[in-house]
């Protein structure tokens, strides 16, 4: 009897947040992150990844908004422009790349509706962790460029699904 009681929603507002039986998208734990080296990364893999992240974010504490996505995407584009101007990855630019992860972590820990959803933070962290200075500046530049393309695809695929 206790098992049945635990599976029921605690209050009426939780009952309304449950997924309808007709919506059988993958659960949040099923998110698979495609490789940055995948030749088809920006096509179907990016679309599926975006859909999975947006769906998972709906169950997170915070709600993913276009404003949150744009804020991080703007930072990524700013770093990308700086790399193009410098022609290489400097220590300062590498630090800015890694600080995106810290900023996402901070935003996720915020209280209330302004919190960044955990699954979006995991998306950023997963790909930023694949950019390692020990592999040399050219590899960092290449990996970051691929991340930029993926993030751009994420922005495009998610634009119709996110609220302001």
Question: Distance between CA 67 and CA 164 in Å, rounded?
Answer: 6
Integer Cα distance of 117 and 67 in angstroms: 13
pLDDT at 122 over 90: yes
Residue partners of 22: CB distance under 8 A and separation at least 6: none
* pLDDT level of residue 62 (50, 70, 90 thresholds): low
Tell me what pLDDT residue 104 has: 95
Q: Give residue limits of the domains in the chain.
A: 65-164
Does the pLDDT of residue 9 top 80, yes or no? no
**Most confidently modeled range among 57-61, 98-102, 137-141:** 98-102
Give the span between the Cα atoms of 51 and 157, in whole angstroms: 8
The pTM (predicted TM-score) of the whole model is 0.77
Contact status, residue 163 vs residue 64, Cβ threshold 8 Å: no
State residue 112's pLDDT score.
73
pLDDT for 144 equals 95
């Amino acid at each position: 009897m206790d098992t049945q009681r635990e599976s029921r929603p605690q209050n009426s507002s939780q009952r309304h947040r449950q997924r309808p039986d007709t919506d059988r998208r993958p659960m949040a734990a099923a998110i698979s992150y495609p490789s940055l080296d995948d030749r088809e990364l920006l096509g179907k893999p990016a679309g599926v990844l975006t859909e999975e992240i947006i769906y998972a974010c709906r169950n997170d504490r915070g709600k993913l908004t276009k404003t949150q996505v744009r804020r991080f995407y703007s930072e990524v584009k700013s770093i990308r422009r700086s790399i193009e101007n410098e022609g290489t990855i400097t220590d300062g630019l590498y630090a800015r790349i890694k600080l995106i992860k810290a900023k996402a972590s901070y935003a996720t820990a915020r209280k209330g509706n302004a919190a960044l959803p955990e699954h979006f933070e995991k998306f950023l962290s997963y790909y930023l962790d694949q950019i390692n200075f020990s592999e040399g500046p050219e590899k960092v530049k290449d990996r970051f460029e691929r991340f930029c393309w993926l993030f751009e695809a994420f922005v495009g695929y998610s634009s119709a699904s996110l609220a302001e």
